[in-house]
Amino acid sequence: MSGTAGALYWESLGPDDGETVVLSAGLGGSGSYWASQVPELAKRYRVLVYDQFGTGRSGGEVPKFYTVKDMAAELDALLETTASGPVHFIGHALGGLIGLELARLSPGRLGSLLLINAWAEPNAFSRRCFSVRRKLLLSNGPEAYLEAQPLFLYPPVWIAENSEWLDQEITHQLAGFPPQENLLRRMHALQTWKMTPEELAEVRVDALVLATRDDSLVPWTCSQTLAARLPLSSVKLLPSGGHAINVTEPERFNTLMLNHLRKHRLPTEAKVNQEVL
């Protein structure tokens, strides 16, 4: 099943009566980022993937002063029409920040969180990386931006071993590249986002914070700080996988993901309705 709610394109896969798992991508914003996770999840869960506003099949012009809170509000409106109860939320980088904002915006909406290479506040290293990426886009255009992107997402050995796939991916992404201003405004929202310790203390959702030591975009210590400030969290630190570990090591990631979901079963719809009454 697929559709458009507001300005967001979404797809639902897997059994309709399964627990709902929402997948939220990083800066790229496209639901296709989760290609290595959807087949495994859909065997048991109802999987909801979506293209974030201004990316992929979700059209629209990203407004000035756009924020991660705005992104969370857009997803909240989508879930209002596509999910009848609490959902599992899995977010990569920016997608994880959306999950944190959503947990504060709609308490009770999320039954569990899996945050991949996320953070609580800006850091100097990531700021430098995004500054370089922004300058590449402005001075050399989308092709140079996309050619450099793997250097931030994947480990060197993986890049060397998957050169042909990366070339195909760059061609695909170039054909569907979003309007430049949309990307720049989304990047600004990501770079300026932060959540205070007091605000994070309000996120009372069982959370697994997953980080990789060889992340070339976000230092793994950022995940440690985030986990320490979330009241119901645990942190898992992996030695390798890069920023996009769900792409580079899908089997390892999928095992961790499924174990997390099994550990945090959602209440049935009947139980939710009973609690509301």
Q: Would you state the structure tokens that stand for residue 131, as one six-digit string?
A: 């500054």
Q: 229 — alpha (psi -120 to 50), left (phi > 0) or beta? A: alpha
pLDDT tens digits, the chain, 277 residues: what are they?
655 656 899 999 999 999 999 999 999 999 999 999 999 999 999 999 999 999 989 988 999 999 999 999 999 999 999 988 899 999 999 999 999 999 999 999 999 999 999 999 999 999 999 999 999 999 999 999 999 999 999 999 999 999 999 999 999 999 989 999 999 999 999 999 999 999 999 999 999 999 999 999 999 999 999 999 999 999 999 999 999 999 999 999 999 999 999 999 987 643 443 343 3
What is the DSSP secondary-structure string of 134-154? HHHHHHH-HHHHHHHHHHHHS
pLDDT at 267: 79
Q: Would you state the structure tokens that stand for residue 232, as one six-digit string?
A: 């119901």
pLDDT at 277: 39
Q: Would you state the structure tokens that stand for residue 37, as one six-digit string?
A: 């996770």
- Tokens 């580079």, residue located: 248
Decide if 114 contacts 90 (C-beta within 8 A). yes
Decide if 33 contacts 245 (C-beta within 8 A). no
- Give the span between the Cα atoms of 277 and 272, in whole angstroms: 9
- Give the span between the Cα atoms of 182 and 187, in whole angstroms: 9
Domains of the chain: 2-276 (3.40.50.1820)
Tell me the sheet residues that pair with 114: 90, 208
- Tokens 């990531």, residue located: 126
Decide if 117 contacts 212 (C-beta within 8 A). yes
DSSP assigned state of 106: S
pLDDT at 268: 61
Q: Which helix or strand (DSSP H or E) is residue 27 part of? A: none
pLDDT at 7: 84
Which residues of 130-276 form beta strands (DSSP E)? 207-212, 233-238
